[in-house]
Amino acid sequence: MIRYEFQGKIAVITGASKDEVEIEIPTELEGKPVAKIEAQALTDMPSLKKVVIPKSVRVIGSYAFANCPLLSEVVFEEGLETIEDWAFISCNLESVELPKSIKNIGTNAFLGNMCKGQIEEFLKERDEHKILGHSNGHCAAFPIELMEARESINSEIVASRARYVDEQFDKITVGELTTKELDIPIYFDGDEFMVAVWHKKEMPNITFEVAGESKPLIGMYSENDPDFLVLKINVLANKNLVSTFSIKTPYLEGVMIENKGVETIVKDGLNYCFVKAQILEANYGNGNYDREFAINQFSELAAKFETQFKNKLITEDQHDEIRDAIDAAVISVTQGFLSQIDGCPKWTFLINLKRKMEDDPTIDQVKLSQYIFEQTLKDYNELGSVYSLIDIIWEHLDEHIAKAEELAGVSIDELAKRYDVEMLNANLEPITEEEAQAYKPNFMTLESNYNLHGDFLIYIYKEMQKLSNKFGLFAFQA
């Protein structure tokens, strides 16, 4: 008897009765396709001799059939793409016929089986075949800094990076990753990167174009979350398709990628082209100005490195450094934006008050910092259309005042006197509480606030670009 669970839109095999002799995995369960056999799902099956894997299954998890000593026959149907590490260790497989759909076989997946040599030969032939094909196997995007190390980049490095990107899409298909965790290169307007391509034939006049299927198939993550597009990019030589690669870029209108220079190297009988590429003429979609500016714009960047950490491409120390930097950027970006808001004397008063409190040794700085962090995230998450500013700038004021009084143990009036902070008008003249409230009806009519809100999107992307560039090489360092 097979056990299973549902993960999103797919069914996943999680176990079976230990006395099973033959198992034929069904193609669907309760109307959902069976797309994965979970890690360790069918380990230690003492009687199991034969398994049939249907075409619906895309992934066989790590240790899925480990230590099944009588398992001598496994039938793989076309459709299977990934066999993870140690999946069939210590079974009794003398021979297997792998489907052409296989893209990745993990470390020691068939260790302890007679068919191990057959698997190694299969992988060798597959990778050699890719030299002649039009697949991602011989094209990938890298940080621009690796242009200086191009002499050391060979066909296997390029193919390995391309396969890794393919695996990310596979994991989304079977529900192992969310779109926000997708680990493929992120590039921004004006950002440079390197495209490495190899082929047996020469590749003159390389150009790029966004593949027509990008937007309808893998472009916008969802109608309610149009922050990023995943774009499939065609690489053309004399207008003939050579290969493709994928990148992730902020939701833009009119994305174009330009060849800014090519270095060509011939070695080992292959032609290598290292292209300095740049995203040009990209305008941020106006629709973004009206969407909710949720924290996911930074969390997607963090999730990219989270996936790299899970895949052991970066160390734990590097992962922690990145997370700390992203958290700090959220605070800096949001406070920098909100501090520029015009037309609210009371808000300016509170910002000045907070700065004075941060310099006061009598204030519990741990509690103050925690409050500032939590409130900044709250404000950031609530930023939507420009009209949401009025809620943040005006409606949150009472919360800030109450917290300041709690931390200081005195009234807001006493705090103002202690730090010599006053509410001021545009001419820097002191005004009363009633006069400050009079600014509210005119707050949203100020053109500066509209413009600032529109610029905020670009401001965020530029800050994210700095972080992406800073940490982008971690996964490629030895």
Say if residues 265 and 272 touch (Cβ distance below 8 Å).
yes
More confident residue, 285 or 265: 265
More confident residue, 164 or 447: 164
The domain ranges of the chain are: 2-129, 136-292, 307-460
Q: What is the pLDDT of residues 230-262, one digit of tens each?
A: 788 889 999 888 888 888 887 665 678 999 999
What is the DSSP track for 327-375?
HHHHHHHHHHHHTT--S-HHHHHHHHHHHHHHT-TTS-HHHHHHHHHHH
More confident residue, 49 or 180: 49
- Alpha-carbon span 435 to 289, nearest angstrom: 31
Q: How far is CA 75 from CA 10, 25, 43, 301, 445, in A?
A: 21, 10, 17, 40, 69
What pLDDT was estimated at residue 281? 64
More confident residue, 371 or 381: 371
Q: What is the pLDDT of residues 129-168, one digit of tens each?
A: 443 333 444 799 999 999 999 999 988 889 888 888 888 8
What angle in degrees, to the nearest 10, is found between the helix axes of 365-382 and 397-408? 170
- pLDDT confidence band for 223 (50 / 70 / 90): very low
Say if residues 139 and 185 touch (Cβ distance below 8 Å).
no
What pLDDT was estimated at residue 136? 40
What pLDDT was estimated at residue 384? 63
What pLDDT was estimated at residue 129? 45
DSSP 334: H
CATH 3.30.1330.60 for domain 2-129, yes or no, is: no
Name the percent of the chain lying above pLDDT 90.
Answer: 32
At residue 146, the 3 state secondary structure works out as: helix
pTM of the model: 0.60
The residues, any chain, with a CB within 8 Å of residue 19's CB and separated by 6 or more, are 47
Task: Give the chain's radius of gyration (CA, Å).
Answer: 28
Q: Is the pLDDT of residue 222 over 60?
A: no
Q: What is the pLDDT of residues 426-436, one digit of tens each?
A: 788 888 888 88
- pLDDT confidence band for 219 (50 / 70 / 90): very low
What pLDDT was estimated at residue 125? 64
